[in-house]
Amino acid sequence: MKDITTMTALDLGRAIKQKEISVAEAVKAQFDIMKLRDPSYQCYITMMEEEAYTQAEEIQRRIDAGELFNSTLAGVPMAVKDNICTRGIKTTCASKILYNFVPTYDATVIEKLKQAGAIIIGKTNMDEFAMGSTTETSFLGATKNPWNTECVPGGSSGGSAAAVAAEEAFYALGSDTGGSIRQPAGYCGVTGIKPTYGTVSRYGLIAYASSLDQIGTIGRNISDCTAALEVISGHDLKDSTSVNQLNYSYREALVDDVKQLRIGIPTDYLGKGLDEEVREGILNAAQIFRNKGAIVEEFEMHGVDFAVPSYYVIACAEASSNLSRFDGVKYGYRTENYEGLQDVYKNSRSEGFGNEVKRRMMIGAFVLSSGYYDAFYNKALKVRAIINEGFQRAFEKYDIILGPTAPVTAPGLGESLSDPLKMYLSDIYTVSVNLAGLPAVSLPCGRDKKGLPIGLQLIGKHFGEKDIIRAAYSFEQAVKYERPISLTETNKETKHISSDITKGKGE
Amino acid sequence: MKAYETVIGLEVHVELATKSKIFCSCTTLFGGDPNTHCCPVCTGMPGTLPVLNKQVVEYAIAAGLALNCSITRRCKFDRKNYFYPDLPKAYQISQLYLPICRDGGIEIETSAGKKTVRIHEIHMEEDAGKLIHDPWEDCTLVDYNRCGVPLIEIVSEPDMRSAEEVVAYLEKLRLILQYLGVSDCKMQEGSLRADINLSVREVGAIELGTRTEMKNMNSFKAIARAIEGERKRQIELLEYGKCVVQETRRWDDNKDTSFAMRSKEDAQDYRYFPEPDLLPIEISDEWLETIRSRQPELRDDKMLRYEKEFDIPSYDASIITGSKHLADLFEETVAICKKPKEVSNWLMVETMRLLKEQEMEAEDINFSPDHLAKLIEMVDQNKINRTVAKEVFEKIFKENIDPEEYVDKHGLGMVSDDGLLRSTIEKVIADNPQSVTDYKGGKSKAMGFLVGQTMKEMKGKADPGMVNQIVKELLDK
């Protein structure tokens, strides 16, 4: 039988349409691999096998009836980050406080995916409430990097990125507040796109920082990401911050042509703190663009240094408010240990939230408290405006800004959480994009000596998705997608090695 | 004792009469079984987002224009963060930094004369749910039906000096809002709630005294009592050389006294910040003009028009326009029967008497203008006399009966049959010889007695003009 799970999402979609593969076959192949590999990688919080087969039947029927002919991803199994609400399916945000929360509604993106015939196979692991860069703050335990199970997959959408890399899903939804799609995509050697703020409805995305959060897609190439993005984009009456764009036909930009494309690299993106091998990888990528006829140059961009502090003040402030509703009263975890209302609040929240979430809520409450508001929150808003301006000015000269996604490749498990400040600083290249609401994509551009993937980030102007998609597509034509080495070995030999993988030593 | 002055400012919460809630499409109807008027949005379920009801903005602007405010052309919502079970998001979406209306004022009139009460601001916000204590289970339950019902909060400057002024301000405010149709302003149902900020100071002092905030009054009378009570309490404290503590107090109308709820020291830090889930509201010239052009005639204008157009005394006009409902009833009835003076009389005399007797408010009147108009026509066409008409009106007032049907059914039509009247009167005269003697002896009052006896004999239905005429004729014979 054909090796289904190594296919791209679009190839599988085409094969399903041409009746070469049935939806049920695709689902079965996917769950076989998930069962084989997920014990090693722990990408999933909830697997939806029964629901997936039921969906498969319905989608197959619709396809056979001639429906969904425009839907390139109909019947293709995909995964959803566990902070996106799914009706009737647990949505936990990887937190104890929502360990039993089952929404009665679908997020708008889920409604759209269902309409397009997507097969949702599970809910992926993440940092608790999307706060973290490693997927280690999950209440359910860390996800492992498919390239090296001693390493983190990045975060917060680490489960989604690892699932796509490990072929445990054809594509996945993530959410990106300060790099949470791009950085794990970079660490796992896959492609992730965060669209312009307002492109995708946030209705049903459990908020971390409302003014920064945006749902995006993760795939094994830009074409898959683009196809999925087309499905979920669009104005939504349920989200006032979603924008009405006329044209969501991103696939038009899947063209191998960067001639005369103006690409700028902020000098500060190559400076202090950047790993030498990552730097090399990025400069190589820049050369590839030059070779393909793009104009690539370095330039000075202002405000790079201020991005991280400004981001953490704003994100934590919004988080402290957004997460206040988890109080043990209506749903989710409630302490068993209480005498009065104050106890219910205090103990449910003390017991229900992890340390990273508590740290950010405390920072947020502090920067909003009276007497500190102007010194912190208001100042952060001003810095945000400066950063925005810096980008505006850069985009007068360039179509795209190029740089690393993260200053290093995937760190080892347990390395980051011991030093949160260092972890925060590693968000330096991604957070400013959220502060400015810009679209950006991370795609693999080679590996370091440890064999870990290096992420290349391309940032576009507001609603300039097509610019970065075209550049990413062109780049892909020159740099072939690499599967994680351990997976390759798994498939070559048979069940003996895969049982090693389930024990977590798949090398 | 020194002479003191009371300084009062009001924060009035008004529930807007929109059909749906401020950020979702749930109904705003009062009552309903607990937790039946809610959805994931108004119960603040994870991932849900608010979408602003445009009608709320229009109502807030209408109120602002009527209260002479300037409208903030780019206003925003902010989050007010605090924990309480009736607030499912743990923040209330409100307006702090850029409220929709600012710097207004209205003129009030009391026994002390006219004065202007300035309005500091009006802001939009969402209402919270309600906690219900279950004494049987000894637990507290939450009803989220009211959660997300739109409110405007009207904040006055500390311009009032007495309970009388406060009541005059509230009456005026209520009338304006009812006339605008932006709220029904029913205090009992909580659609108008006033918090009173009150302080006292020695007469002539420039600095304001320490103020307290009083909550939980559900009638104008309770407000007047609460003000009186709090004024006395503060003056007493000062007279004994003590200090007023800045605190929030809860009025208990049954015990006629107030209790401290929380002091300034435990005041919460609400950590307000701009609501990121809603865009700023841009109010264009065009939108503002549309709302302005739709503003209805308000009470003061209506009063003047009644005096001029209908030639009604200003006292009557003020009573009738004192309730939007009564004014509507008046105009609708006049439109049918074209007899404004008659309509006004029925409302001013009989309606007022019955309201008082039944302990009802003008808002509770429930008869149709058709029926009153018909009654007026019937009197005008001598189909019934005024005595019968009063009896029929009472039926209209209480049961909203159709006067024509009622008169037919009960045979109350006026008797103008000359023969029948004549024979009845002859019998009355024969039965009352003393009255005839008195009349002939110059006591003209005796005739009235005979007329009365005749009406009694005729069960009130006789044509009073004809009875008078025939009695006189027979006596003078």
Q: Give the model confidence (pLDDT) of B8-52 as tens digits.
A: 999 999 999 999 999 999 999 988 999 999 999 999 999 999 999
Q: How confident is the model at residue A187 (pLDDT cuts 50, 70, 90)?
A: very high
**What element of type H or E holds A444?**
strand A440-447
Strands B150-156 and B281-282: unpaired
**pLDDT confidence of residue A387:** 96
How confident is the model at residue B438, as a pLDDT?
A: 87
Is residue A320 part of the annotated active site? The answer reads no
CB nearest to B88's CB, from A210, A241, A325: A325
ipTM, two decimals? 0.94
| DSSP 8-state class, residue A376 | I
Residue with the larger pLDDT of the pair B464 and A268: A268
Q: What is the pLDDT of residue B2?
A: 85
Tokens of A468: 């970065």
- Alpha carbon distance B463, B455 (integer Å): 9
**Per-residue pLDDT tens over the stretch B49-80:** 999 999 999 999 999 999 999 999 999 999 99
Cβ-nearest to A85 among B47, B88, B269 = B47
Q: Does A330 touch chain B (CB under 8 A)?
A: yes
End-to-end CA distance of chain A: 25
Identity of residue B244: V
* A56, A10 contact by CB (below 8 A): no
Whether the predicted pLDDT of A505 surpasses 60: no
Give whole-number Cα distances, A258 to A249, A444, A471, A474, A477, in Å: 19, 18, 6, 7, 12
Determine the average pLDDT of the residues in A212-223.
98
Instruction: Report the alpha-carbon distance of residue A173 to residue A180 in Å, rounded.
Output: 11
* Cα A34 versus chain centre, distance: 19
State percent of chain A over pLDDT 70: 96
Neighbour-count burial for B460-470, b at 16+ CB within 10 Å, e otherwise: bbbbbebbbeb
Beta-carbon count within 10 A of A241 CB: 20
Greatest C-alpha distance within chain B:
97
Q: Which of the residues A81, A144, A194, A466 is marked catalytic?
A: A81
State how far the Cα of B204 lies from the Cα of A291, in Å rounded to an integer: 85
Residue (of A289, A302, A285) closest to A257 by Cα position: A289
Q: Would you state the structure tokens that stand for residue B78, as one six-digit string?
A: 């902010």
Over residues A310-326, the mean pLDDT reads: 98
Task: Give yes or no for A347 touching B (CB within 8 A).
Answer: no
Q: Please state, as a whole number, how many other Cβ atoms lie within 10 Å of the Cβ of residue B347.
A: 22
Q: Which of these, A154, A170, A278, lies nearest to A224 by C-alpha position? A: A170
Chain B neighbors of A85, CB-CB under 8 A: 46-47
pLDDT for residue A493:
38
Interchain pair A240, B273: CB under 8 A = no
* DSSP designation for A250: G
pLDDT score recorded for residue B158? 97
CB contact under 8 A, B45 and A327: no
Please, which residues have CB within 8 angstroms of residue A417's CB and are 6 or more apart in sequence?
A: A132, A134, A136, A137, A356, A423
Alpha-carbon gap, residue A144 to A138, rounded angstroms: 12
Q: For the residues B214-230, what does the mean pLDDT come to?
A: 92
Residues B116-139: tens digit of each pLDDT: 999 999 999 999 999 998 888 888
- From the list A180, A223, A348, A486, the catalytic residue is A180
Report residue A502's pLDDT band, with 50, 70 and 90 as the boundaries: very low
Asked whether residue A61 carries a pLDDT value surpassing 80, the answer given is yes
pLDDT(A501) > 50:
no
Instruction: Find all residues with CB under 8 Å of A350, minimum gap 6, and list them.
Output: A335
Every domain of chain A and the residues it spans: 4-238+248-262+438-502
The percentage of chain A sitting over the pLDDT mark of 90, rounded to a whole number, equals 90
Secondary structure element (H or E) that encloses residue A184, with its range: helix A182-188
Contact B384, B413 (CB under 8 A): yes
> In chain B, which residues have their Cβ closer than 8 Å to the Cβ of A206?
46-47
Provide the chain B residues 124-143 that lie in CB contact (below 8 A) with chain A.
142
- The answer to whether A156 is a known catalytic residue is yes
**Matching CATH number, A4-238+248-262+438-502, of 3.40.190.10, 3.10.180.10, 3.90.1300.10, 3.20.20.70:** 3.90.1300.10
**Is the Cβ of B83 closer than 8 Å to some Cβ of chain A?**
yes
Q: Which residues contact A368 (CB under 8 A, 6 or more apart)?
A: A317, A320, A321, A377, B81, B271, B272, B273
Say yes or no to pLDDT of A364 above 90: yes
C-alpha distances in Å from residue B455, one per residue of B428, B445, B465 = 10, 16, 11
* Burial tier of B305 (Cβ tally within 10 Å: 0-12, 13-18, 19+): middle
pLDDT band, very low/low/confident/very high, at A488 (cuts 50, 70, 90): low
Contact B91 A321 (CB under 8 A): yes
pLDDT for the residue A185: 98
SS3 of A113-158: HHHCCCEEEEEECCCHHHCCCCCCCCCCCCCCECCECCECCCCCCH
Specify the pLDDT at position A490. 55
Question: What number is the average pLDDT over the span B1-7?
Answer: 90
Model confidence at A489, in pLDDT bands (50, 70, 90)? low
Q: How many CB pairs under 8 A join A and B?
A: 98
The structural domains of chain B, with segments of one domain joined by +, span: 4-286, 297-410, 418-476
As a whole-number percent, the residues of chain B with pLDDT over 90 amount to: 70
Q: Which amino acid appears at position A66 of this protein?
A: G
Paired residues of A171 in beta bridges: A78, A219
- The predicted pLDDT at position A2 comes to 62
Would you state the pLDDT for residue B383?
A: 84
Two tokens at B446?
């005796």
* CA–CA distance, A134 with A126 (Å, rounded to integer): 8
- Nearest 5°: the CA angle A346, A348, A353 is 100
Angle, helix B163-180 to helix B299-310, in steps of 10 degrees: 80
Secondary element (H or E) of residue B64: helix B54-66
Task: State the burial class of residue B268 (Cβ atoms within 10 Å of its Cβ: 0-12, 13-18, 19+).
Answer: exposed
3-state helix, strand, coil in chain B (%, to 5): 40, 20, 35
Q: Would you say residue B229 has pLDDT above 60?
A: yes
Strands A171-176 and A77-81: parallel
Residue labelled with tokens 């094969």: A15
Number of neighbouring beta carbons within 10 Å of residue B456: 11
Residue that is written with structure tokens 């916000």 in the block: B125
CA dist A174 and A125 (Å) reads 10
Closest CA to B4 of B229, B226, B200, B185: B200
CB A82 within 8 A of CB A91: yes
Give the model confidence (pLDDT) of A96-146 as tens digits: 999 999 999 999 999 999 999 999 999 999 999 999 999 999 999 999 999
| DSSP element (H, E) containing A468 | helix A465-478
Mutation to test the B interface, candidates A80, A235, A321, A361, most B Cβ within 10 Å: A321
**In this structure, what are the phi and psi dihedrals at residue A371, rounded to the nearest 5 degrees?**
100, -25
A102 chain-B contacts, CB cut-off 8 A: none
Residue B400: is it exposed, middle or buried by C-beta count within 10 angstroms (0-12/13-18/19+)? middle
Closest CA to B9 of B155, B215, B207, B203: B155
pLDDT, tens digit (0-9, with 9 covering 90-100), for A238-254: 999 999 887 889 999 99
Q: E strands, A65-176, where?
A: 77-81, 119-124, 171-176
Of the partner residues A83, A105, A327, the one whose CB lies closest to the CB of residue B40: A105
Write the DSSP assignment of B242-271 as a string of letters: --PPPEEEEEETTTTEEEEEEEGGG-----
Name the pLDDT band for A496 (thresholds 50, 70, 90): very low
Q: Under DSSP, is residue A385 helix (H, G, I), strand (E, B) or coil?
A: helix
- A329 near B CB under 8 A: yes
Which residue among A107, A239, A345 sits closest to B83, beta carbon to beta carbon?
A345
Q: Enter the tokens of residue A48.
A: 């939806």
Could you tell me where the DSSP H helices lie in B135-250?
163-180, 220-239
Q: Which CATH class is domain B418-476?
A: mainly alpha
Q: What contacts A39, CB < 8 A, 6 or more positions away?
A: A501, A502, A503, A504
Are B47 and A237 a contacting pair at CB < 8 A?
Answer: no
Strand B74-75 vs strand B281-282: parallel, antiparallel, or unpaired?
antiparallel
* Yes or no, beta carbons of B81 and A320 under 8 Å apart: yes
User: Within a 10 A sphere around the Cβ of A271, how many other Cβ atoms?
Assistant: 12
Q: Which residue pairs, CB below 8 angstroms and at least 24 apart, start in B310-318?
A: B310/B334, B310/B340, B310/B341, B310/B344, B311/B340, B311/B341, B312/B340, B312/B341, B312/B344, B316/B344, B316/B348
First CA to last CA distance, chain B = 79
Mean predicted confidence (pLDDT) in A379-384: 97
At residue A114, the pLDDT reads 98
CA-wise closest residue to B273 among A209, A383, A175, A308: A209
SS3 assignment, position B92: strand
Does the pLDDT at position B188 exceed 90? Answer: no
Q: Does B280 touch chain A (CB under 8 A)?
A: no
State the Cα–Cα distance between residues B86 and B35, nearest whole angstrom: 12
User: Tens digit of pLDDT for each residue in B68-122?
Assistant: 999 999 999 999 999 999 999 999 999 999 999 999 999 999 998 999 999 999 9
